[in-house]
Structures are given as structure tokens and as C-alpha cells.
A and B are shown apart, each in its own frame.
Chain A
């Protein structure tokens, strides 16, 4: 393995694949580090090995990924799957675990394509075995063809809920209810973004058709679809047995052993924050996203960000952003001239602009509802350390408005996930309990290693003599 590259791309989803292929095709020495065993990211997970049946079930949104995979495979890229990056620095150093050992690589440019994750929203019973995310279920099918055989409830708000419902229906999974938590009030304000969204009328119609199809199937199979659902909770002893909620003034309950939830998608910024990228607060979707231009530039000269890790725009946009980032770096390294850059970047920019045109509508339509984080006091917020909303509210009442300080005292966010699961909730609890504007609240810091590393592995790393300066 080489130890020095022109560019290291972290993440092999659409952005990372497109970016690394483009960089390699411009003659750059490129390595791609990815956690998974095969390329594709979450959206195209396992695409290189998926069966015809999986392709048929998952449809063109999945199968389309074969194109970017093909370009990636044809490019001269050092691809390192099953690599867990646990630290990156603006100096271009990257530390990661692979095959039970720690490694270090260096590059002039780092491109972080860490993608998105589902917004973690604590609710009563969300730690029970049997509760998982819609995307998680989707991944189980994509990489392992695993399908539920016992009653399933889907709950949440956003396109992914309907996509997964469609797949599970096609697989004849026993869905017993779909609980849409989108407030009815949100449809109207979103409408002002409709004209822009209609630039991609085909895409919008596809979305409408998807939801209509799911409704039709649900009707045929007598599966209730509840709207305006609140107070979702899972109950059971060793696993989920009941899914309960309120619908209007009515209490509803379904016997189920699997509850799939999705409350939207947020950028996965752990590595970005650890490396020191500056972030901005999005007041509509209520997440932090890195300050990144469409060309991928961040506040750190050697660090670029592309894909949904920048702002959640979807798979195609991620690919375009990956390409633009590659062109920017190639231009900066003088592999292409300014004129070539402009000539090649402009069409990609145009495609990107068109691709993201429906996003303002979708973002507004599926904005987190105001009571999304109205978490009951006795509900666990920090899954790792078992810290409840009440314990966090007590800290906020005592004057703490910084997750980092709260963590140092009650260990909320101190466990192996390092606040990935509780971070957004703690942030919202602080916003709720203090008078601070969200953008004035300090974000939860991520410290290396962003994934735990075994001491044995660390001890085996090659190091010099102790420098006691």
C-alpha cells in the first residue's frame, strides 16, 4: 500500500465514486477509503452483488447506480473497502482501521463524502430490540435480502418512509400500519416552493405516484394509513410488542414486533466536525451542515466535502457534487486549465441546479415538526449511556447550554456512538430550555477517534520514540 496520495476520498457512495473516478481520470493518484465491503454507499448499497430480484424490487433509483459504479471501476483508483476512518486532519493525514490494524495515509487533498444518516429522534421505547430505522430495514434488504415475516409498523415523515413501504409491500412483508407523522399544517407553507419544484415535473410526479401506489396497495390489503400521528411509542418487554400513538384525539395501538421509523435525513458530519470544518444551521430542516461551496471547498484549504454530507440533496446531486469537487481539485493542481474547468464544470452545475430544484419544497413539506423533540422526561435520549431527557433538562435548568459541558458531567454523548444518536436531541432540548438562538448554541464536539479503536490495534501501530517536549 502506498502511503502518500494526491487525494484521498473518504466514502464510496455516489459522491465519493464520482469524485474519485473523475480525479483518477485527470491523472491524480487517488485512494478511496470506505467502511463497507463493496462500493455504493447507503443508496446503492451492495449494488455490485445484488441479485436481479433485488434490482427489480428496488427499482431504477437503485439500478441507476450501476453507471457510476462502472465509471469508478474503470478508473485507476486505489479502493480500500472495510476501512474505518477514525481520524482525519487538515494536514492531509488520515488514520483508519483495516483488517485488525491501524494505518495512516497522507494526501494533499482530502475529499470527505460521508453522506447522510437518518435523523435520530428519541421516543418512548426507541431503544427496544425491534425498533430500527426505515433506512436500516432498506439496508438489510439491499445487502442481505432479509425481509420481515412478523407484523411491521412504519412511522415517520418523509420520502424514505414511502419508499420503504413500497419495497416491503412488494416483498409481501406483513405491514400492519403506516403512521405518517407529518403535520397537515405543513402542506400549505411548502406550496410556495412548488413552482421551482415543478422544474422537475417528472421527479415530482414519480413521488406523487409512489405515495399513491402505496395508498392503493394499503387499501387493497386493508393496511391503515394514519395521518397527523403524534406521541409515537414502542412498548414491550424484551422486544417491541406494541406500537402506540395518538391520531387526532384517538389512541391507536398495533401489535407488531418491528417498528421502522424515519424522521428525515440529515448530513452525517461526524468526520467533518472532527477535522474542523465550519458548519451552518439550517432553520428549516433544523440540522447543521458544513459551509461548503458547490465546488466542494470548505474553510480548510486541503479539505473538500461532497455529497449529502454537505447538504441533503439526494444521490444524483451527490454524484454531480463529487464531479464538481474533482474538477476543482484538478484545476487547483493545474491538471486542467481555468478555461477547461469552466467548460467542464458548467454543464455539471446546470444538471445539479436542476436536480436540486424540488428540494426546497421537500425540505419545507417534511420539515421537522415543532413537537418532534418534545421528548417525555423518562425517555432515554443517549442510548449508549442511558441518559434520559429529564436528566438533560435538569442540566439545562441548572444553566448548562453546551452539550460538551453536559457530556463532561452526566456522560450524555460519551459512549461509543459519540453523540451521533443523541446530539440532535440534546441540541433541540437546549434550544427549547434556553433562550438561545440555535446558531448561538455550541455544537457537540467530535474528538478522535470517531470510532473506537482497540488498544491492541493501537499498540501495534508503528510509532517513533516518546517525545517529552
Chain B
């Protein structure tokens, strides 16, 4: 599946461009080559990309230019990647982070 429940679409139809396949939370996403990880996820699902550090609220990217830190993901085992700044590559494995939240708050 290259698209589940996203409210966005690729303006260059997938059939007309080179694609790469990545995994987000175990789901396969086929996306145009060269797009950012944030775009790849937004183009795939309306679900959240990460949770806020303190309260664990669901978030999606706000600024898409590297300043809001609302798109932090784990990419191939590396933490705290800003999805809006990372281009996708074939076989990339993306996971949400901050899924475990601070219980004491």
C-alpha cells in the first residue's frame, strides 16, 4: 500500500516518477524518490508522526523547516531525526519515538 488514509496526494502521480519503498511503523509506503520523510508519512497516513515529549500528545509536523521538532522519528536505529529534513532512501525503516511517555507527570 502506498496510501492509506492520507489527506494529501502526490501531485506528480506515482506512476510517472521514480519511487522508493520505506517502512513506517511496519507499514510499507511507496513514495516518490527524493521526498522528505515527513512528506512520505503525511502522504501515507493522517495518523500522528510523533508524540509530544512531556504529555505524549499526538503530533504531526508544524513548521516543516526544522524548528518545531514535532516530527522527531527514529530512522534505522538513529533517534531524534527531524523527518522534515531527511530525504527518504530505499529500504529506510522509520519509527515513531516518544511512544513511551513520562508517567509521573
Contact = CB atoms under 8 A, between A and B. Distances in A.
B94 interface: no
Interface string A229-246: 000000000110000000
A53 B67 contact: no
A132 B61 contact: yes
Contacts of B58: 129, 238
B95 to A, nearest CB: 15
Interface in B1-19: 7-12
A386 B54 contact: yes
Contacts of B9: 146-147, 149
Contacts of A148: 7-8
Contact of B11 (A129, A132, A171, A451): A171
Nearest to A41: B65
A136 B7 contact: no
Interface stretch (A285-293, A397-405, A412-420): A412-420
Given A145-B12, A146-B35, A386-B57, A135 B7 contact: no
A53 B8 contact: no
Contacts of B35: 143-146
A36 B85 contact: yes
Contact of B69 (A46, A149, A415): A415
Contacts of A348: none
Q: Chain A interface secondary structure, helix, strand, loop or mixed?
A: loop
B53 A415 contact: yes
A149 B67 contact: no
Nearest to B13: A145
Contacts of B61: 132, 136
B60 A132 contact: yes
A280 B57 CA distance: 36
For chain B, which range describes its interface: under 10, 10 to 19, 20 to 34, or 35 or more residues? 35 or more
Query: Size range of the interface on A?
Result: 35 or more
A383 to B, nearest CB: 6
A132 B82 CA distance: 16
B12 A417 contact: no
Which of A130, A141, A383, A385 lies at the interface centre, i.e. has the most chain B CB atoms within 10 A of its CB? A383
B87 interface: yes
A342 interface: no
Contact of A421 (B32, B47, B67): B67
A254 to B, nearest CB: 15
A37 interface: yes
Contacts of A344: none
Given A100-B78, A136-B63, A145 B11 contact: yes
Nearest to B48: A129
B42 A131 contact: no
B69 A386 contact: no
Contact of B8 (A129, A133, A147): A147
Given A143-B36, A420-B68, A131 B12 contact: no
B16 to A, nearest CB: 10
Contact of A140 (B48, B55, B64): B64
A424 B11 CA distance: 35
Contacts of A144: 10, 32, 34-36, 39-40, 43
Given A148-B7, A416-B53, A53 B12 contact: yes
A407 B84 CA distance: 27
A431 interface: no
A454 B81 CA distance: 10
B62 A131 contact: yes
A298 B23 CA distance: 46
A118 interface: yes
Interface of A: 35-37, 42, 46, 49, 51, 53, 82, 84, 100, 117-118, 120, 126-127, 129-133, 135-137, 139-141, 143-150, 171, 238-239, 257-258, 268, 270, 383-386, 411, 415-417, 420-421, 451-452, 454
30 contacts: A35-B82, A37-B85, A51-B12, A117-B63, A117-B65, A129-B59, A132-B60, A133-B64, A135-B63, A135-B65, A136-B62, A136-B84, A137-B64, A139-B84, A140-B38, A144-B40, A145-B11, A145-B32, A238-B58, A239-B46, A257-B7, A383-B62, A384-B52, A384-B69, A386-B55, A416-B69, A417-B67, A421-B62, A451-B82, A452-B80
Given A146-B8, A383-B68, 14 more contacts: A127-B62, A132-B61, A132-B62, A132-B63, A136-B62, A136-B84, A143-B39, A144-B32, A145-B10, A146-B39, A149-B7, A257-B46, A421-B62, A421-B67
* 6 A-B pairs with the lowest CB-CB distances in the bound complex, closest first: A144-B39, A136-B64, A144-B35, A129-B60, A150-B7, A386-B55
